[in-house]
Structure 1
Amino acid sequence: MPRKEKKTKRDIGKKEIRRMLYDIFSANPNEHFNYKQLAQRLGIKNMNAKQLIMTVLYEMKNDNMLSEESTGQFKFKISTVYVTGIIDLTAKGTAYLVSDECKEDVFIPQVGLNHALNGDKVKVLLYARSSRRRPEGEVVEILERKKETFVGIIQCSKQYAFLVPTGKQLPYDIFIPLNELNGAKDGEKAIVKITEWPENQKNPIGKVLQVLGTPGDNDTEMNAIMAEFELPVQFPATVEKAAKKIKDAIPEEEIKNRRDFRGITTFTIDPKDAKDFDDALSFRKLKNGNYEVGIHIADVSFYVTPDSTLDKEAYNRATSVYLVDRTIPMLPEHLSNGLCSLRPNEEKLCFSAVFELNENAEVIKQWFGRTVIKSDRRFTYEEAQAMIEGEDGDFKTEIITLNDLAQKLRAARFQNGAIAFDRIEVRFDIDEKGKPTGVYFKRSKEANKLIEEFMLLANKKVAERIGKTKEGQKAKTFVYRIHEQPNTEKLEDFGRFIAKFGYKIRTTSPRQLSSSMNKLMEDVQNRPEQNMIETLAIRTMAKAVYSTVNVGHYGLAFDYYSHFTSPIRRYPDVMTHRLLQRYLDGGRSANAEKYEEMCKHCSDMEQVASNAERASFKYKQVEFMSDKLGENFMGTISGVTQWGFYVELNDTKCEGLVSINELEGDYYEFDEENYCIVGRHHRKVYQLGDQVLVKVAKANLVARQLDFALVESESKNTTPAVTPQTPASRREKPERKFRRGRRGDAASGRKSGKGNRKKK
């Protein structure tokens, strides 16, 4: 995003615009408005923000909130006593409705859920409320089920059976008639589909779709995680057949239509365990002293044509999934590890971004188009890093020069306001049976950053090529990777928290925020609180998503950014390739509404895949600690909730819960506003960042849950006693600033446990 010292209306995000539009329409239910009138009311003059208003208007129309009286003219439609949104279930069985139509989340008691489950899209009737109470309501209609299949353990009796769901997916057991067991036996893990749910019954009725195997078995548990998030494990036979039909040989006429890079020095740099090489760099020094750098990306869109069997499967998956011990690819192996993998000494088809750079890494010329390459060498990051650090090797001069250019690109990016989130990656050593035998940490070094900077350059320049237009021209529909500015309230909460450790951030302007955030990331290096503060800092930021409405990328400080460089594992990159070629050929703008819907699907699937990856990581954490019961470890309090606090072990980063019910010597209560647990009588405080000595009490593999017992705390913190006039039990609860998640989704200080992969 451009760095403005003063906040403008351009900084407003989609959710905020939706709420402001709702306020306008609900206050004027008999009037109709077009986007220009609404922009004028909101004081918005920027064209990108006006386009965002149009997008939100049609989303509100699709959600049955507005009617389109005539083309571009919208009017309020729904009754003010009803709102729609997504159910966020809590550990107690109550829920909150998260809705763009309300400034506050709506509390829903358990009796008011009417069989709505976590993640369901529902219609809620709002109760009348006083000015001092939070909004409450009840579900009157389930508009869309988030999921209908669930994973759990089968429990059988002589007359019937139940599925006891694992994890946090369903708070009820599923009743299964014996004739619907599909061969499942007592104690086995299985996938069950809900077939009906009578209104007067607490438990739904279902049938077994698939038996996964014995709980605790590595393959059973990994497949269970995929099933829990409704991700496919195998490709359908029709998809595999379609992939194998594609011939290995490149047609000669296709080569003639492409720019030929086969005679130019080209190589790949990837992790040592990588099998799919979707990017390569070419390098040569030009006669004028400048450098030509080619970023060559596997031309997946040549092999995967629109609406084909392969394309539909790739779109449905939208992304590859990286579990701890395996990869579930977006494309069949014949493509991902074969035809589209830029293996050395093989001719490959690519889509390329080629730049002429001067010694200051400034772009002098650029070219985009389809190419044919032949990689000379495959490097691992370790091999490239060794040469950067002084060892001799093939193409050392090229790698050293590219590294120098990459460092200049990186310096310019941070000078412009980019934020550095170089997270430590926690990895497990895995034996042949999938069992974790050790933990190690990976840091991004110069070789990683070399590749990262050139991939960022390609993604940025591709987006600029289509999105950056002359004054008066309208940009054509394109797929952008956008990242909005962080929420002010979250920043204030984060600032208060880090102040307890002696750190601070400045939020007066975006530039000040980015520079102070970068300084914070430097200051926490090698400190016990490093991982926790880095995790919280990332959570303070907005989440990057895909959209046809460009608002820039705040974290990278780019006005235009797309995903172009990983089409083997990300479907949005395939979309980008197709649109770029269409426009290079002089084609008309694509349908924005269609592509926005595709962007939303890809963003949603990216989140689902991320959740599955975290679940697999959590399972391996529990498995790794399962033979260490009774052992003591030092750790840092990384999350605080109403049911206890989470502790991240300092040496392995494994995380477990110390239950509030197990804390001795006092009656402890959760102080949500200050992220701490406080003893009612002695005022002992356990808060984020405290160092504690804990014992491994329980390792539940089925629930993917570690339980710790407190041995000793280094915290000496106490708080003033609550006065008799305001006993703790009667104090009014603070406003709900964070989601009250289920166990394992702590409101504050929660972490993903998954570092960044190779590229953004």
Structure 2
Amino acid sequence: MLKSKTFVKKTRKGNVVKVHREHYMRDDVWCGAEHCVKCGGDEKPLQATPSAESQSQKFKFFHYILPDTNVVLHQIDLLEHANITNIIILQTVLDEVKNQNTAIYTRLRAIITNHEKHAYVFTNEHHRDVFVERLPKESSNDRNDRAIRVSTEWYNKHLPQNKGVRVVMLTNDRDNKRLAELDNIPCATIEQYVNGLPNSAEMVDLLALASDSISSSTPAGDKLDYPDYLAKGTVQAGIKSGALVQGTFNRSRENYLEGYVSAKAHPEPILLKGRLACNRAIFGDIVAVKLLPENEWEHPSKTLAVNEGDEEDQPDTDAVGGEAKNAPVLPSASLVPPPPCGKVVGIVKRNWRAYCGVLAPSKGSGVFHLFRPQDRSIPNIRIKTRQAESLQGKRIIVNIDGWERTSMYPNGHFVRVIGDLGDRVAEGEVILIEHDVSYAKFSGDVLACLPATPWVLTDEEVARRKDLRYLDVCSIDPPGCTDIDDALHARLLPNGNYEVGVHIADVTHFVQPRTAMDKEAASRGTTVYLTDNRIDMLPELLGSNLCSLRSNVDRLAFSCLWEMTPECEMVDVMFTKSVIRSKASLTYDEAQARVDDKTQQDDLTKSIRQLNKFAKILKARRFEAGALSLASPEVRFKMDMEDERCDPLEVNVKELKETNSLVEEFMLLANCTVAQRIHEQFPESSMLRRHPAPNKERFDSLVSWAKTVNVELDVSSSKKLAESLDKAVLPDRPYFNTLIRILTTRCMMQAQYFSSGTLPEEDYKHYGLAAPIYTHFTSPIRRYADVIVHRLLGSSIGWDHADPTLLGKSDVETLCDNLNYRHRNAQFAGRASVELYTHLFFKNRVVVEDGYIIRVKDNALIVIVPKYGFESVVYFDSQQTDYAEDKQALTLTTEDGKPYKFHMFDRLKVQIHVDSSNEQHQKLVMQLVEPHIPGLSVVPTDAMAVDEPNANTSNKRASPAAGPSEKKLKK
């Protein structure tokens, strides 16, 4: 049966057009019930007799459940519970959820494909008996609710012969429930249904809290009168007219009572001072901001204030802005004008997620309790649970349901227990959840894409490729590396030039477009390296075996071959799919030993020496062009492998050798060469990587800090900056140059993937590398961006036809957005893992080490400890301090009346140990040893990673300071 549907649709340009579509109707759509007499067939998702554990006692008959759209959107955690089975998902509901929330849609699809859930999608929109037309003056929402009721009623007429099983509609919409009851359709609210389940005590905590239930229970002391949000229509009109600014909310990492909004339409972040100015925005939310008059703009607070979780004990703030009440009076003079200030007047899109943390100790016997998130940029969350006693000392997950304007806290609901607080496995899982890292085992659909084992390289495949197995190819990696992406070689040609080759694992041979494995790799985006673990982008059979360029086995590769003169001038380049056989898998130390040992004169060692010679020339040319050499200390842990807990025995900053630079230079050369090639072939849809030049304003503080020690930094260009960094040497301070490079790193913008057709060519440049065009080609085992680049490069040489789904610039841009997000989170997850193991290292130790002052606040010194690669804070009583901003100095006057002066870049001796009094946020405590100050008390504070972002971001999900040197990072 064929129907014609006509409707109006607004285009992207705002035009309204009339659309005519043919709508096919069928009468043979199966109901999904096992052994259904009318539909026939035995293999159906819905069980003939649902298990008793999934049956609510509110209904005295076996039944399936049919949730409406709002139940799916707001109660997805409950629907994922193992005891909620036999679920009918209507096409109407599935389409609505897809349009409203892609994250929940993905989770709903996972429920549908999980065979143990016995879920079935009923295509009611194409079933002749249940399809409903939209009535005149009927809203789209009312029409969809009616379609849900009609389908439920149809099921209950269709199924009685199927052993008496019926269908219950779940809805929290009062009108929808009332109309269903008038038609004698079995229905219940989600809370009524759950309360009738045999294990309701466990499952009721999964219920998302309704606004009215939380408001009535909020203690008087936890109430706050936030401003109302503007209506959605007013917000959209304001953004369109420019009266409001749309941007992403970030909490300040230096003062939790302040926030920033970064907006594309605004040149610099907008400062929000005080709780009411932030107006219930949570990190990552897309918000609408109204700018305050310029005469109300203020500087960020110079008081360091970290959220310790006890917000009710913290000083309150003024209505819109200003410092915390009772805060010390700060100097009004400033070296720079204040940033623009504003207030949140509306929420465009919430970016809530699952939050890890602990339940605060209960202050009463009620069912409402405060949850303290691990992420300090997130406020405490009020949840309803009857399991408070058993949840003490546990890491748990909570979701936010809403935030009433009269409550200091958002309301949410308990999801699940991760494990015991302090347990290493549980803490590792917290890191993955907090950084949105997908760590589930690969699904059966993904594993089904793997080649049969044992895999054999066929003669037909060899015949298609260039056979390079005769070359002296080797790989150079860190110790223990199993996912070997790349190998290299150099050999003398008869004409006196050299052939230099970079050979990259041919992952695209095994990962075909649009397969389940390809989709999973695109979703994960990157391999995540933790201190004690690795979360792979691809299954181990590929990453550590068939794609890994291990020695003495035949492997498929994508090779980039240059002909170079002895002076390292490029004569020609060729790209080819190849077969290689690596002669050795070397560590950096082993390769360096070959370079240094002049007695070794074998062909492989000669190849490495020639590569090293060329690498030095390439590096010198990069720096001459303006590439930056910055500092970002990475630490390495030596583990106690005889102890099953694998405790860290030592922690030191990693030492880099010449061979590290050897590999880096040729990876950079390959990436630049490939970028040029794919851009020539696909100028509108190449996946490239850019590093924007930072605004000069980002350097203002650093430049003024350097002047305090008579060092001049020229930031007019990357070349001038590189030259001035080379000159930034203080003979009496040997660590100063490294310190200034670390601080320069923090002024950088974040490097990003982008689609070439979305930006003018002058914006392609990679600032840190001084490269006019750049991409990622050399690590396809661990980065999905490289997989896309391999496909584009393969198409450019005629190996494969271009995949049309990857060549639209909007498609590439969407993919780039996810890859940028995944790449940032992987970086921060790795740093969080290092931080966890640093705490474990110091747990039973007290050490004294050198530290250097890298920030001076009016009540604190921020100190970096180079040996361990972290920084922490030394607080002072602000009544005893005198802060001089122009000199970046702090004078402390103690009870003995003697002044102690601290300046930017001063060296101190600090004693370091762990304070475990706060189990969730254990602290690395720094105590001054030199200079010795009698009677000085130090407030414990969290250690902060060296590469944390600047004050415009606040959280490990925010954009990190870019490491402009795109090094080859392996674990």
Query: If the TM-score is normalised by the length of the shorter chain, which range does it land in?
Result: 0.7 to 0.9
Q: Give the alignment partner of residue 425 of structure 1, picking from 628, 634, 639.
A: 634
Give the corresponding residue for 2:820: 603
Q: Distance in 2 between matches of 1:407 and 1:595?
A: 35
Q: Distance in 2 between matches of 1:285 and 1:137?
A: 65
Give the corresponding residue for 2:276: 111
Residues 708 and 756 (structure 1), Cα distance of their counterparts in 2 relative to 1, 3 Å cut: farther
**1:324–1:617: 8 Å Cα contact kept in structure 2?**
yes
- 1:560 paired with 2:773, answer yes
> How far 1:323 moved relative to its partner?
1.7
Give the corresponding residue for 1:263: 470
Q: Distance in 1 between matches of 2:690 and 2:379?
A: 35
- 1:230 paired with 2:394, answer no
Q: State the AA in 2 paired with 1:464.
A: Q
Give the corresponding residue for 1:725: none
SS at match of 2:746: helix
**2:447–2:517: 8 Å Cα contact kept in structure 1?**
no
- 1:634 paired with 2:840, answer no
Give the corresponding residue for 1:78: 240
Give the corresponding residue for 1:727: none
Q: Distance in 2 between matches of 1:305 and 1:695?
A: 55
Q: Give the alignment partner of residue 404 of structure 1, picking from 613, 617, 620.
A: 613
> How far 1:241 moved relative to its partner?
2.3
Give the corresponding residue for 1:298: 505
- 1:668 paired with 2:876, answer no
Give the corresponding residue for 2:677: 465
Residues 119 and 704 (structure 1), Cα distance of their counterparts in 2 relative to 1, 3 Å cut: farther
**1:165–1:172: 8 Å Cα contact kept in structure 2?**
yes
> How far 1:255 moved relative to its partner?
2.3
Q: Distance in 2 between matches of 1:524 and 1:757?
A: 32
Provide, for residues 469-494 of structure 1, a one-character-per-residue CA deviation record: whole Å limited to 9, x for no partner: 9xxxx834212121222321233432
Q: State the AA in 2 paired with 1:493.
A: S
Give the corresponding residue for 1:102: 266
Q: Distance in 2 between matches of 1:675 and 1:650?
A: 21
Q: Distance in 1 between matches of 2:506 and 2:611?
A: 23
Q: State the AA in 1 paired with 2:876.
A: I
Provide, for residues 592-644 of structure 1, a one-character-per-residue CA deviation record: whole Å limited to 9, x for no partner: 12212222221222111112222222222222222234x54432123344552
Residues 120-519 of structure 1: pairs in structure 2 closer than 5 A = 120-128=285-293, 130=295, 135-155=340-360, 159-160=366-367, 161-178=369-386, 185-238=391-444, 241-242=447-448, 244-247=450-453, 248-390=455-597, 392=599, 395-421=604-630, 423-432=632-641, 433-467=645-679, 475-519=683-727
Q: State the AA in 1 paired with 2:872.
A: G
Q: State the AA in 1 paired with 2:652.
A: Y
Q: State the AA in 1 paired with 2:852.
A: T
What 5-or-longer segments of structure 2 have no aligned partner? 1-231, 299-338, 934-948
SS at match of 1:216: coil
Provide, for residues 221-271 of structure 1, a one-character-per-residue CA deviation record: whole Å limited to 9, x for no partner: 121111111212233433652354555223433322211112222111111
The percent identity for this pair of structures is 30
Provide, for residues 480-510 of structure 1, a one-character-per-residue CA deviation record: whole Å limited to 9, x for no partner: 1212223212334323322334433334554
**1:420–1:518: 8 Å Cα contact kept in structure 2?**
no
What TM-score, normalized by structure 1, do the two folds share?
A: 0.78
**1:119–1:146: 8 Å Cα contact kept in structure 2?**
yes
Give the corresponding residue for 1:580: 793
Q: Distance in 2 between matches of 1:744 and 1:84?
A: 22
**1:623–1:699: 8 Å Cα contact kept in structure 2?**
no
> How far 1:298 moved relative to its partner?
0.8
Q: Choose 86-95 or 350-359, whichever is displaced more.
A: 86-95
> How far 1:739 moved relative to its partner?
2.3
**2:708–2:887: 8 Å Cα contact kept in structure 1?**
no
Provide, for residues 165-194 of structure 1, a one-character-per-residue CA deviation record: whole Å limited to 9, x for no partner: 124241213414227x8x963211122222
Q: Distance in 2 between matches of 1:448 and 1:64?
A: 56
Q: Distance in 1 between matches of 2:832 and 2:752?
A: 21
Q: Distance in 1 between matches of 2:821 and 2:911?
A: 38
Q: Distance in 2 between matches of 1:637 and 1:138?
A: 34
Residues 135 and 559 (structure 1), Cα distance of their counterparts in 2 relative to 1, 3 Å cut: closer
> How far 1:568 moved relative to its partner?
0.9
Give the corresponding residue for 2:746: 539
Q: Distance in 1 between matches of 2:631 and 2:657?
A: 10
Q: Choose 269-278 or 423-432, whichever is displaced more.
A: 423-432
> How far 1:584 moved relative to its partner?
2.6
Give the corresponding residue for 2:257: 93
Residues 611 and 198 (structure 1), Cα distance of their counterparts in 2 relative to 1, 3 Å cut: same
**1:428–1:439: 8 Å Cα contact kept in structure 2?**
yes
Q: Distance in 1 between matches of 2:538 and 2:281?
A: 35
- 1:706 paired with 2:924, answer yes
**1:154–1:184: 8 Å Cα contact kept in structure 2?**
no
Q: Distance in 2 between matches of 1:617 and 1:755?
A: 20
SS at match of 2:240: coil
Q: Distance in 2 between matches of 1:428 and 1:525?
A: 31
Provide, for residues 84-104 of structure 1, a one-character-per-residue CA deviation record: whole Å limited to 9, x for no partner: 111122334332322233345
How many pairs were matched up?
657
> How far 1:327 moved relative to its partner?
1.8
Q: Distance in 2 between matches of 1:673 and 1:312?
A: 54
Q: State the AA in 2 paired with 1:293.
A: V
Pick the structure with greater CA Rg.
2
Residues 704 and 236 (structure 1), Cα distance of their counterparts in 2 relative to 1, 3 Å cut: farther
SS at match of 2:822: helix
> How far 1:672 moved relative to its partner?
5.9
> How far 1:458 moved relative to its partner?
0.7
Give the corresponding residue for 1:9: none
What TM-score, normalized by structure 2, do the two folds share?
A: 0.62
SS at match of 2:795: helix
Q: Distance in 1 between matches of 2:830 and 2:234?
A: 36
Q: Distance in 2 between matches of 1:354 and 1:261?
A: 11
**1:150–1:169: 8 Å Cα contact kept in structure 2?**
no
Q: State the AA in 2 paired with 1:315.
A: A
> How far 1:738 moved relative to its partner?
6.1
Q: Distance in 2 between matches of 1:171 and 1:468?
A: 49
Q: State the AA in 2 paired with 1:625.
A: F
Q: Distance in 1 between matches of 2:657 and 2:904?
A: 30
SS at match of 1:413: helix
Q: Distance in 2 between matches of 1:568 and 1:525?
A: 46
Q: Choose 571-580 or 167-176, whichever is displaced more.
A: 167-176
> How far 1:438 moved relative to its partner?
1.0
**1:340–1:348: 8 Å Cα contact kept in structure 2?**
yes
**1:280–1:296: 8 Å Cα contact kept in structure 2?**
yes
Residues 755 and 564 (structure 1), Cα distance of their counterparts in 2 relative to 1, 3 Å cut: closer
Q: Distance in 2 between matches of 1:127 and 1:345?
A: 67
> How far 1:310 moved relative to its partner?
1.4
Q: Distance in 2 between matches of 1:232 and 1:512?
A: 42
Q: Distance in 1 between matches of 2:834 and 2:927?
A: 22
**1:639–1:646: 8 Å Cα contact kept in structure 2?**
yes
Q: Distance in 2 between matches of 1:368 and 1:288?
A: 21
Q: Distance in 2 between matches of 1:571 and 1:526?
A: 43
Q: Distance in 2 between matches of 1:697 and 1:430?
A: 19
RMSD: 3.7
